[in-house]
Chain A
Amino acid sequence: MNQDVTRLEELLARVQRNAAQPRRGRAAPLPSSPSAASSPSAASSPSAASSPSAASSPARPPVTPPAPPVAVSPPAPPVAPAPAYSPPASFDSVDDLLADPFPASSAPPPPIPAEVIPDPIPAAGVAAGSEHISGVMPVAEISEEPPEELLEDDIVEMSPTEAAAEAAPPEPRSSLDELDFDEEGEAPAPRAELDEEPPASSSRSKVAATMDEALAHAAEQMEIQEGREVPLKTPPPESGPQAAMAPLPAGIHAPPAPDIDELLEADIIPVSGVTGAVPTAEQLGQTIDLDEARGPHLELDQPAAAAPAPPTEVAPPEELEVTLPQREFGGGYQDNLMPPPEARQDLDAHRQRVGEESIPPPPESLAQYPSAHPATSTGGMFAPASAPSVTTESPNEAVSTVTIEASSRAEFVPELLARPESSPGPVAKFIRADAPRPSTFLELLDASLKLGEG
C-alpha cells in the first residue's frame, strides 16, 4: 500500500513536470477529423507524439508531425490493438490526475462515430495522375492521399504502463521476495488491469545491475524451473501394437520368468566344484525320486577284476569314469537272472492268453535236414525247453524217413520227408543233326532235282 502511494506520488510529480513543459511535439488534430487522433491506427503509430516517452526526451529534436489522413477508412487491423490511452490535453485539478488513468477494458469507451469520406478518385488514379518529380507534394494533395496501410511488423503495441515504465527509472530490488517475473522490471501497474489485459508482446528481460542481483535472479530461476511440472504433450513412445494375450488352455502355461536369485546363486556356485553330495539349485528343482531297485543286481563284469568292489556311497568324481570292457569281453546276462515280480505276472498272463505252451515248434524246412538246425540257446531267463529229437530210420540214403519226437504235449507229430542230395550231372543229351551242306552250287542243284522223285 505504501508502495502504491509512493508510485502515485511519483506519477503526479512527473505529470506536473511534463505539464510545465511546452507542447511542441504534439500533433494538432484537424477539425475535419476530430476522431482521427483517437483512432487505433493513429494511436498505434510510432510517430505519434502523444506518447509520454517521446515527450519526456528533452534532447530529442522536434519531430514534424505527419499529416493525418483526411479520408480515414482504416483497414481491418491484423491484430486487435490494446485500448490506447489518450491523456487529456490539460489537467484541471489534482483529482483529475488522481483519477484512474487506465480505464478497464471491460468498460470500453463509447464508440466514436468516424466520419468516413468516400474516396472519389481511386488511389491508383491519383498516383498515376499526379507525379511530382521534385518530391514536394502540396498539402492538399497529401490530405487527399489514402491512408498508409501499416504492416503487421510496423505496429508496436505499447500500453501506457509500459510507456510509464520506460520513462521512470527502474527501482532496485530490496529483496528476492519483491521479484516478479511476470512484470520483468516494468513499472508497477494496477493488479486488476494486469490481470485483465496481459501484454500481447513479450517484454525484454531486464539486465541485472549488480552481481548480487544476477545471482539472486539465477537462484530464483532455478527454483522456478525445479518447481515447474513439465506437461506431457506427447504420449510416451510405445513399441507398437501388441497382440492381445489370449488365455492359454489348461495345462499350458508360459515359461516362468527366470528367478534372478537362482541365477545369481547358480553363478556363485563354481562349476568345477560341484559334487554329488552338494547338488545345485537347478538340480534340486529337477530331482526325481526313484524307486528302490528290485530284482537281481546288474553290474558290469570286468575281466580283470575278480570280485567287484562294493559301491561306495559317495564316489569321488574321478571314479565316475569307467573304462569300457575290452574286446574279448562279449558281455551277457547272468544265468540266475530272474525277471522282476511284475514282469513275471505279465509274462504268465501273456502265456495264458496266447497259449504259448500249446504252440508246436516251427516246422523245419524240407530242404534241410533237421539236424542242420543249430541248437537254440537256452540261456537267459527262460527255462530251457526240451528240444525234439530227430532220428533217421530209413536205411536207404536216397529216400529217408525222418521221425521227430516232439514233446508229449503236442497234439500231432509232423512227419517230414527230406529229399536226398543228388550230385549234379547231365540231365539231357542233345544230339546235333549234321545236315549235309552242298559245297558247290551244282551239288545243291542236283539234290534239288532229285526232290519229288521216287
Chain B
Amino acid sequence: MMSPRFDPSYALEFDLGRGQIRMANASERVVVPSDALLALCEGASEDAVRDFGRRLGTEAGRAALAHLGDAGQASLEAVVEHLGGELALMGLGSLGLERWGSALVLCFTHSPLGGAGDALLGSVLEGMAQRAFGRDVVAAKLMRDAEHVRFLITGRAGADKALGWLSSGVAWGDVLTRLASAGRGES
C-alpha cells in the first residue's frame, strides 16, 4: 500500500488578526524560543518533562496517522516521511531511522534543543509510537554527538540492559550486538 507523500502545504496558518497560529487538523500553536523551552524543561521534574514530551509526540503521531491510514501496513519509509514531517513542523529537528538487525534506532539531527533536550525528544518518540502504533516503547539514548542523537526503541527490559551496558562503558554498537545476541538466545 502506497501512502501519499507528506505535503506540508498550508500546514501552518498564521491568523494575524487574531494573533493565532494554527496547525492543520490540530490545535493552536505557540511559537516560543527554544532556550526558553529548555529553561522550562531544566526547571521542571523528570516526570513533568516526560509527560510534556509525550504529549508532543501524541500530537505528532495523531497527525501522521491521519496521513498514513493503516499504521500497521505502513512501510518504514512512509512512517519516517510522515512522522518526520510532523516533527519538523514542530521545529524539533530531522527524524531518521536506522535498523540494526532487529533493533529499531531513531535519530534526530539538527535539533535546536541540544543535549539538554534529549530527554524531551525521547519522550516525544515514546508518545508518538504509543499514539500511532499503540505500543508502549522506551526510547533509550545510545549516543550523542554534535548534531546526532540516537535512541533505541525497545521494551523496558531491553532498555534496562542497554542502559546498563552503556553505563558500564560498552560502546553503543556493542550494546546493539549484545541485544541482538540476547534476542537469539545467545548469552
Mutual binders A and B = yes
B169 within 8 A of A: no
Residue of A nearest to B73 (CB): A440
B-chain residues with CB within 8 Å of residue A382 when the two chains form the complex? none
B180 within 8 A of A: yes
- Of chain A, the residue at the smallest CB distance from B78 is A441
CB distance from B47 to the nearest CB of A (A): 23
B133 engages A445 (CB within 8 Å):
yes
The interface bits of chain B over 58-88 (1 if a CB of A lies within 8 angstroms of the residue's CB, else 0) are 0000000000000111111011000000000
B residues near A438, Cβ cutoff 8 Å: 76, 99
From known contacts A444-B99, A454-B185, infer whether A449 and B75 are also in contact, taking CB-CB under 8 Å: no
Pick from B4-12, B17-25, B33-41, B156-164 the stretch touching chain A: B156-164
Q: Does B124 contact A (CB under 8 A)?
A: no
- Interchain CB contact under 8 A, B154 and A448: yes
Enumerate chain A residues within 8 angstroms of B155, measured Cβ to Cβ.
Answer: 449-453
Cβ contact within 8 Å between A442 and B99: no
Closest Cβ–Cβ distance, residue A316 to chain B (whole Å): 100
The answer to the question of A372 belonging to the interface, with a C-beta cut-off of 8 Å to chain B, is no
Whether A451 pairs with B154 at a CB distance below 8 angstroms is yes
Q: Does A447 contact B (CB under 8 A)?
A: yes
Q: Is the CB of B74 within 8 A of A448?
A: no
Q: Given the complex, which residues of B lie within 8 Å of A453, measured CB to CB? A: 155, 157-158, 183
Which residues from A are CB-within-8-Å of B102? Answer: 436, 444, 447-448, 450-451
A384-400 vs B, Cβ < 8 Å mask (1 yes, 0 no): 00000000000000000
Q: A435-B101, A445-B104 are in contact. Are A452 and B159 (CB under 8 A)?
A: yes
Q: Say what secondary structure dominates the interface of chain A.
A: loop
Chain A residues positioned under 8 Å from B153 (CB to CB):
445, 448-449
Q: Would B135 and A451 count as touching, CB distance under 8 A? A: no
Q: Please state if B160 and A452 are interface contacts (CB–CB under 8 Å).
A: yes
Contacts of B104 in A (CB 8 A): 444-445, 447-448
B166 within 8 A of A: no
How many chain B residues touch A (Cβ–Cβ < 8 Å)?
Answer: 32
> Quick check: is B103 within 8 A (CB to CB) of the other chain?
yes
- Asked if B26 is at the interface (CB within 8 A of a chain A CB), the reply is no
Report the nearest B residue to A449, measured CB to CB.
Answer: B155
Q: Could you tell me the distance between the alpha carbons of A450 and B154 in the complex, rounded to whole angstroms?
A: 7
Known contacts A448-B103, A451-B182, A453-B157; is A440 also within 8 Å of B137 by CB? no
**CA of A385 to CA of B103 in the docked complex: distance in angstroms?**
79
- The chain B residue with its CB closest to the CB of A452 is B158
Q: Is A336 in contact with chain B by the CB < 8 A criterion?
A: no
**With A444-B99, A445-B129, A448-B102 as given contacts, are A439 and B137 in contact (CB-CB < 8 Å)?**
no
Q: How far is the CB of A67 from chain B (nearest CB, A)?
A: 135
Expressed in whole angstroms, the Cα–Cα distance for A451 and B72 within the complex equals 20
Distance to closest chain A CB from B187 (angstroms): 11
Given the known interface contacts A440-B75, A441-B75, A444-B76, the answer about A452 and B133 at a Cβ–Cβ threshold of 8 Å is no
**Within the complex, which residue of B79, B135, B137, B161 is in contact with A452, where a contact is CB–CB below 8 Å?**
B161
| CA A446 to CA B183, docked complex, whole Å | 12
Chain A residues, CB < 8 A from B71: 441-442
Smallest CB separation, A436 vs chain B (Å)? 8
Q: Is residue B121 contacting chain A, with contact meaning CB distance below 8 A?
A: no
Q: Which residue of B lies closest to A447 (CB)?
A: B102
Beta-carbon nearest neighbor of A439 in chain B:
B75
Contacts of A447 in B (CB 8 A): 102, 104
Q: How close is B13's CB to chain A, nearest CB, in angstroms?
A: 29
In the complex, the chain A residue whose C-beta lies closest to that of B183 is A451
B162 A442 Cβ-Cβ under 8 A: no
Least CB distance from A254 to B in Å reads: 90
On chain B, the residues within 8 Å of A435 by CB distance are: 101
Indicate if the CB atoms of A452 and B129 lie closer than 8 Å: no
Q: Which residues of A contact B161 (CB under 8 A)?
A: 452
State the A residues within 8 Å of B (CB): 435-436, 438-442, 444-454
Pairs A–B under 8 Å by Cβ, sample size 17: A439-B75, A440-B72, A441-B76, A445-B135, A445-B137, A448-B137, A448-B152, A448-B153, A449-B155, A449-B158, A451-B179, A451-B180, A452-B154, A452-B155, A452-B158, A452-B182, A454-B182
7 nearest CB pairs, A to B: A452-B158, A448-B104, A451-B158, A441-B79, A447-B102, A452-B157, A449-B155
